[in-house]
Chain A
């Protein structure tokens, strides 16, 4: 189950080689941060949460049972830490939501000027709810399986599938003009 490379580094960390943890941090920090950002909706809080999660993971590494991937185990810690911190900072998160809306409105205005799909798709994902955005990131970007997402989020498999379906539908609606243009180009 575990990529052998990760296993070697985990063993080294468990044997007291702190520097070996740097490899694991560098390998998984972006996805861990993405998970935290989807929940926190604030870059500063997301970074703090990711850092906190990595520290927790290090402290609990001896309890990692190797039944799942290290990344799945790590993202579970990140997700739970983010949920906990987001509840503490609920007011702050609401203020950030307003900023996201503003950015999205500005994107629609200058849509015809740019064809940067990545930028608009990213904005559209940011417009989704916390869990929908997280599921899209885990399932499509990080290519986690439904079972792994279930482990990370604690949601049931059916619930994950429903949320993924709704998230895709919302994205299609948000990006319909862009999609039409793309289809017309292809056809």
Chain B
């Protein structure tokens, strides 16, 4: 009787269906494994070595300064403009040339020196003749013209040096 009970019991046990996990068990597991495989690949030594380079090449110490200076707006250099325009200067020179020529011609006629004095005397005669052309009242005008010419000369030299 006991053996019979045993046999029946064993037969029943053998007929029991195994417990089964959820329907998507295999899919979930394989998905998890796939992620693990990808992570393992990512942690491969050669790849890690490639990504984590031990020492990166560094630029020179002045690299940052160079970049910053390039980013800064360019300094605006103020071009030196002549105070008086070229046309005005041309007119003044032409006027002076005419006046000096006229004075020279006048001095030759008024203070002719047949003996042939020195060059110094010729220049002083021209200058006195030039000043006399303005009469005494116009001496101030003559000085102004000379001053303006001096200023124009200074302006010309200054511009030449800084250009």
Contact = CB atoms under 8 A, between A and B. Distances in A.
A64 B4 CA distance: 42
A29 B26 contact: yes
Nearest to B40: A59
Given A121-B13, A179-B9, A183-B5, A22 B26 contact: yes
Contact of A21 (B5, B17, B19, B33): B33
Interface in A1-26: 18-19, 21-22, 25-26
Interface residues on B, range: 20 to 34
A54 interface: yes
Given A47-B21, A168-B9, A55 B16 contact: no
Contact of A140 (B1, B14, B30, B32): B14
Contact of A33 (B4, B12, B21): B21
A21 B18 contact: no
Contacts of A121: 9, 12-13, 16
Interface residues of A, number: 38
Contact of A118 (B8, B15, B20, B26): B15
A98 B131 CA distance: 134
B1 A30 contact: no
Contacts of B1: 183
Contacts of B17: 118
Contacts, number: 94
B33 A31 contact: no
Contacts of B36: 55, 58-59
Contacts of A136: 13
Interface in A129-177: 136-137, 140-142, 168, 171-172, 175
A122 interface: yes
Nearest to B18: A30
Contact of B21 (A30, A58, A59, A171): A30
B80 interface: no
5 contacts: A58-B36, A118-B12, A171-B13, A172-B6, A175-B9
Interface of B: 1, 4-6, 8-10, 12-22, 25-26, 28-30, 32-34, 36-37
Closest 7 CB pairs of A and B: A30-B18, A140-B13, A33-B21, A34-B19, A121-B12, A47-B21, A34-B18
Interface of A: 18-19, 21-22, 25-26, 29-31, 33-34, 37, 46-47, 50-51, 54-55, 58-59, 117-118, 121-122, 125, 136-137, 140-142, 168, 171-172, 175, 179, 182-183, 186
